[in-house]
Structure 1
Amino acid sequence: MLAKWLADKICPMVFTDEVLRAALLRRCRTLKIEPPGRVDRIVGAGRTRFEREFCLHVLNGLSADSARSLWELATGEDGFLLELKSDPGRLGLETLLEEIVKLRRAKALGLSADLFGGYSDRLVASWRARAMASHPSDFAANQPPVRLTLVAALAWSRATEITDALVDLFIGLVSKINTRAERKVERAIEAEAKKVHRKTEKLFSIAEASLRAPEGTVRQVVFPAVSGGEATLQALVAEAKADANAYKARVRTVLTSSYSNYYRRMLPKLLAAIEFKCNNTAYRPVMDALELLQRYADIANTTRHYDASENVPIQGGWCRTAGWKRSSTRTASSSGPPTSCA
């Protein structure tokens, strides 16, 4: 009776023998019975009973194909177990692509979203931690139901974790692309426009000279008004052109070029690996843009424009921000990085 009570009421929430033992002794005091002499044995029996029921629940939720794939994973036949345990490496395009492949393989196991329905997240996390700490020999030491449940908890949890890591990697990579573009533009600006000191004084001199001789020519009146003459004025003009709007435009151009030449291959794989959902109608243009990108992902390398019948979402600047452009035939050219959409 006590072992069954432990299995039904306590084991789903408590995962250490010490706490199970304390709960058993409290139960005995509540029932006003003398604690049995073999408390540890009853604790072990309760834990074993719960583990058997938990594994049976998981196995009943697996398809034949999923069970076969999990068995191959547990026995190390496909070598994916160690890869599944590993965390993302250094931020970069290759890391992103590797995580996309890992997520696709985890999803290919076919584990349902409610596989562990009715059980707490803490319980699943404890089995996931147990699987993470297990070596191939540890898996082999367990009975098949336990072995399958361990790898199921690991794969089920890691699919969510990899998705989160993938989103973080993507955000970080977009930030990295943008930072590199900004640095490249800043270096170009520094090279083409030296900082002109005492601009106010020079501008005052130009204004004063112009008022003294309003009928004179620029070369006769304005150039001599500042030291350096024409070269100084050219430097002032070049610096003025490097304002915020011009800077942003140049950064955008460099970013688009970088995406188109190297990073663009991440988009089709990313869209195929992650499912986007949103119930907020305010973001409907973003969802429409994502659906459009997904439809054209497989033919992005063979076509540059959307079909004229497509409804390309450009209201509110979504599509322009995403780097897509309208062509003369009212279709959109896929030439820029869809950072906002993603």
Structure 2
Amino acid sequence: MIRPIIPYPELTLNSRLVERYRQRVETESLTEIRRHPISIRYLLLSAFCSQRSQEIVDNIIELFILLVHRLESRSRKRASSELIATAQTTENHDQLLYQIAMAALAQPEGTVQEVIYPVAHETQLETIVEHLGEGGQSFRERLHSKMRLAYTRYYRRLLPLILKALEFRSDSLNLQPLLKAIKVLKISAEFPSAEPYAAEIDVPMDGVLSMDWQETVMVTGKGGEPRVDRAHYELGVLRTIREKLRCKELAVRNYG
């Protein structure tokens, strides 16, 4: 975890003065710094480390916000492209479905093999069922599915590591569930995304995830019992963290 260094915490130093000390360190060689009396040397190095640590925290927060945004925006583009392609394919099936309907109405007592197959063979019907099944999936479901796939394949190796480097804080009571959710993510970051949460782990939902994400997160286990999908839950929490960081409702402890 990155903890910004505050030079002489019992004193309140002017930020311009700290900046001046930092610039002095940057312009001096290591030999010159060592020549200073120990009190001056520590003051200069503390000022330098304090500002550098703040810059590092700034960069990490910006990287986190960028990665979550990139994950969602790219997944949205892929979901949109698939939806358009499915719509175009479905339009090509309209004429075939019309012919099937006309054939069925013309011979209502006939069998499928006698009436339907002369108009559309089995392979064509399987293709229609496949595409219409995909078309039944809403855009939100497509988007969440794409985001989960991208997250588990790539982003999950990066984002939890960023979370571990930061300690979040908020004075708002409404954000306490989110802080608990962040702790859950940090603790369970090493577990496989397909592994369900242990029964004793309290997984906060209200005040952390929107209603549509709560619907996405809850899935049915192999035994028919409801459970929380770990990857979708982590994604929902990360999106909320990004939103709260951007609107300054969530801050990093000892910084901001």
Residue matched to 2:107: 213
Aligned equivalent of 1:279, options 165, 171, 177: 171
Structure 1 residue 287 displacement after superposition: 1.7
Could you say which residue in structure 1 is the equivalent of 2:62?
Answer: 168
Structure 2 residue matching 1:339: 3-state secondary structure: helix
Equivalent of 1:339, from 218, 235, 239?
235
Give the TM-score, by structure 2 length: 0.61
CA 1:212/1:169 → structure 2, altered by over 3 Å: closer, same or farther? same
Structure 1 position 263 matched with structure 2 position 151: no
- Where 2:236 maps in the other structure, the secondary structure is coil
1:19 maps to what in 2?
none
Q: Percent identity?
A: 21
Rounded to whole Å, the distance in 2 between the matches of 1:139 and 1:322 is 57
* 2:178–2:207 CA contact under 8 A, matched in 1: no
C-alpha separation in 2, matches of 1:217 and 1:129:
88
* Alpha-carbon distance, 1:169 to partner: 2.1
Distance 1:147 1:188, change over 3 A: same
2:142 corresponds to: 247
Cα gap change, 1:172 to 1:217, in 2 (>3 Å): farther
Among residues 88, 97, 104, which one is paired with 1:203 in the alignment? 97
Is the alpha carbon distance of 1:187 and 1:141 closer, same or farther for their aligned partners in structure 2, counting shifts above 3 Å?
Answer: farther
Q: Do the aligned partners of 2:22 and 2:48 also contact (CA within 8 Å) in 1?
A: yes
Deviation, 1:164, is 1.8
Please name the residue that 2:42 is paired with: 148
Letter in 2 for 1:338: E
Contact 2:196–2:227 (CA under 8 A) maintained in structure 1: no
Shift of 1:306: 3.4
> Using a 3 Å threshold, how does the CA distance of structure 1 residues 110 and 211 change in structure 2: closer, same or farther?
same
Change beyond 3 A, Cα 1:292–1:197: closer
The answer for the alignment partner of 1:315 in structure 2 is 206
Q: Is the 8 A contact 1:304 1:334 kept in 2?
A: yes
Give 1:282's aligned amino acid: N
Contiguous gaps of at least 5 residues in structure 1: 1-102
RMSD over aligned CA atoms reads: 4.7
Q: Which stretch of structure 1 is more off in the superposition, 246-255 or 146-155?
A: 246-255
Deviation at 1:158, TM superposition (A): 1.8
Over alpha carbons, which structure has the higher Rg? 1
| Larger RCO (alpha carbons 8 Å, 6+ apart) | 2
Tell me if structure 2 keeps the 8 A contact 1:324–1:332: yes
Give the drift of 1:275.
1.5
Q: Specify the alignment match of 1:111 in structure 2.
A: 6
1:289 correspondence with 2:181: yes
Alpha-carbon distance in 2 for matches of 1:271, 1:290: 8
The alpha carbon displacement at 1:223 in A equals 3.9
Following TM superposition, by how much is the alpha carbon of 1:156 offset from its aligned partner in structure 2, in angstroms?
0.7
- Could you tell me how far 1:179 is from its partner in structure 2? 6.7
Which has the higher mean CA deviation after the structures are superposed, 280-289 or 321-330? 321-330
Q: Deviations over 1:216-268 (max 9, x none)?
A: 33343334335xx4333333332223343553354255246426xx835863x
Query: What secondary structure, in the 3-state scheme, does the structure 2 residue paired with 1:242 have?
Result: helix
User: Which residue of structure 1 aligns with residue 52 of structure 2?
Assistant: 158
The more displaced of 320-329 and 153-162 is 320-329
Take 2:114 and 2:142, find their aligned partners in 1: how far apart are those partners? 34
Deviations 1:75-120 (A, max 9, x none): xxxxxxxxxxxxxxxxxxxxxxxxxxxx64xx3x85369566251x
Structure 1 residues 317 and 130 mapped into 2: Cα distance closer, same or farther (>3 Å)? closer
One-letter code aligned to 1:169: L
CA distance 1:147–1:265, shift in 2 (3 Å): same
Q: What SS does the aligned partner of 1:198 have? A: helix
Q: Which amino acid aligns with 1:124?
A: V
- Hey, what's the Cα distance between the residues in 2 that align with 1:246 and 1:223? 34
Alpha-carbon distance in 2 for matches of 1:291, 1:254: 23
Shift in CA distance, 279/321, structure 1 to aligned 2, threshold 3 Å: farther
Distance 2:132 2:8 in 1: 57
Gap change, CA 1:114 and 1:208, over 3 Å in 2: farther
| Cα contact 2:219–2:226 (8 A) shared by 1 | no
